Amino acid sequence: MRVPLINRSHTSPVPPTIYDVAERANVSTATVSRVFNNQTRVANATRERVLKVADALGYSPHISAQNLALQKTSLLAAVVPFETDFFYAQVMRGMQDALFDSDFDLTIYLAPEKRETKGQLERALQPGRADGVVLLSAELSDAQAEMVRASGQPLVLVDTHHSFFDSISVDNDEGAYDAVQRLLAHGYQRIAHITVAPEAPAPARNRRLGYEQALREAGQPVDPELVVYSTSYPFGFMEEAGYEAMQHLLALPELPDAVFACSDVQALGALQALRDHGLRAPDDVAIVGFDDIHTSRHVGLSTLRQPMREMGKLAVQKLLQRIAQPARTPSKTVFAPEYIARSTCGTAASSEATAAAIAL
């Protein structure tokens, strides 16, 4: 039964310090410290006495003080763009997976505005804030990269690249190219693309490029009418954006027969627009997304799977490696997206896709 040292009502108790323990145990703070860390070099009797006092007092080392003395934080920072995106949720789960094997915890630095990852990055880089940072979906200018390097903080990029740092991403061009090529091979003639803004971040941009390349290689010029950018939601992947874009396509004099959406989220919105017009996928218009979020499987959406969780896990593993060995040469990991043919693309005969098609 421990008696709080101070407990005036409405005064939150003040935790005991190493001095309190040292005093009550008749030893110096150095000894207490040794007991709690440096397990060796303490007489058994002393150790037990210290431990007993510490327990009675409810002592626990003050982390900020430890951090300062040890020049570390045991914290990793994740700088995440502001978007209700399933991608980030999954990547973060993966990061947590990898964290289990370490003594680090994760602090989230969520960008306050659409694209303002920059401020949060600077914050995360401040000395004494974290021991390393994972930066998601943010392209680094050379100036920024130099700033990061100057800060001395280990950093890993997810979804983008820079020669200074470890990076982990998926081959967006290739995935998009693959999907469109399959649609072409299956005989679709007018394949539209739903994307975000032309100046969108790399992943979306590269998916568009993959789409364009597949068309060109098939001898089809890119029809600007069939590439619909989102004006209302220029950056994030939003269902509403997909919905609007699909409405736009449905208003065209000649309908597309297939749509490759930049993300599953947008594809879901497109699907909804289709339904609201009394149309269905793939019978009237085929639809393919990108990401393979949880919902996609349940609605039978064909898509390109991105190993989000693995990417997050690997990001943290790379970061931990770099903290341990700052001088390693940066690595670049690129995962290949996997085409998942379900019911909405009309090119599948897999049982999964059939089951989904029967769904409701």
Partner DNA sequence: TTGAAAGCGCTAACAG
Partner DNA sequence: CTGTTAGCGCTTTCAA
Residues that bind its own copies (CB under 8 A): 2, 4, 9-10, 12-15, 58, 60-68, 73, 75, 84, 86, 89, 93, 96, 99-100, 105-110, 112, 123, 126-129, 150-152, 268, 271-272, 275-276, 280-281, 294-295, 298-300, 326-327, 343-344, 355-360
Q: Are 235 and 263 in contact (CB under 8 A)?
A: no
Q: Are 356 and 343 in contact (CB under 8 A)?
A: yes
Q: Cβ–Cβ contacts within 10 Å for residue 11, how many?
A: 9
Number of helices (H), then strands (E), in the chain: 14, 12
Minimum distance from CB of 127 to DNA (Å)? 7
Quote the CA–CA distance of 133 and 130 in Å, as a whole number: 7
Nearer to DNA, 152 or 219 (CB): 152
Site for DNA in 67-86 (CB under 7 A): 68-71
Instruction: Give me the 116-135 binding string for DNA, x by CB under 7 A, dash otherwise.
Output: -----------xx-------
Structure tokens at 136: 């998601």
Given candidates 23, 46, 225, 277, which one binds DNA under the rule CB under 7 A?
Answer: 46
Nearer to its own copies, 133 or 184 (CB): 133
Work out whether 33 is an interface residue with DNA (CB under 7 A): yes
Minimum distance from CB of 16 to DNA (Å)? 8
CB under 5 to 8 A by kind: which of its own copies, DNA, none does 38 bind? Answer: DNA
Render the burial of 109-136: b for 16+ CB within 10 Å, e for the rest.
bebeeebebeebbeebbeeeebbbbbbb
Pick from 174, 238, 179: nearest CA to 209? 174
CB under 5 to 8 A by kind: which of its own copies, DNA, none does 84 bind? Answer: its own copies
Work out whether 48 is an interface residue with DNA (CB under 7 A): no
CB under 5 to 8 A by kind: which of DNA, its own copies, none does 42 bind? Answer: DNA
Minimum distance from CB of 5 to DNA (Å)? 12
Q: Are 290 and 302 in contact (CB under 8 A)?
A: no
Nearer to DNA, 17 or 213 (CB): 17
Given candidates 65, 218, 252, 355, which one binds DNA under the rule CB under 7 A?
Answer: 65
Nearer to DNA, 73 or 90 (CB): 73
What phi and psi, each to the nearest 5 degrees, are found at residue 290?
-150, 125
Q: Which listed range, 45-53, 95-103, 152-160, 272-280, lies at the site for DNA (CB under 7 A)?
A: 45-53
What phi and psi, each to the nearest 5 degrees, are found at residue 157?
-100, 140
Query: In Å, what is the CA distance from 153 to each residue of 73, 141, 161, 165, 352?
Result: 12, 17, 17, 11, 45
3-state secondary structure 37-69: CCCCCCCHHHHHHHHHHHHHHCCCCCHHHHHHH
Q: Are 79 and 120 in contact (CB under 8 A)?
A: yes
- Residues making contact with DNA (CB under 7 A): 14, 17-19, 26-34, 36-38, 40-43, 45-47, 59, 61-62, 65-66, 68-71, 127-128
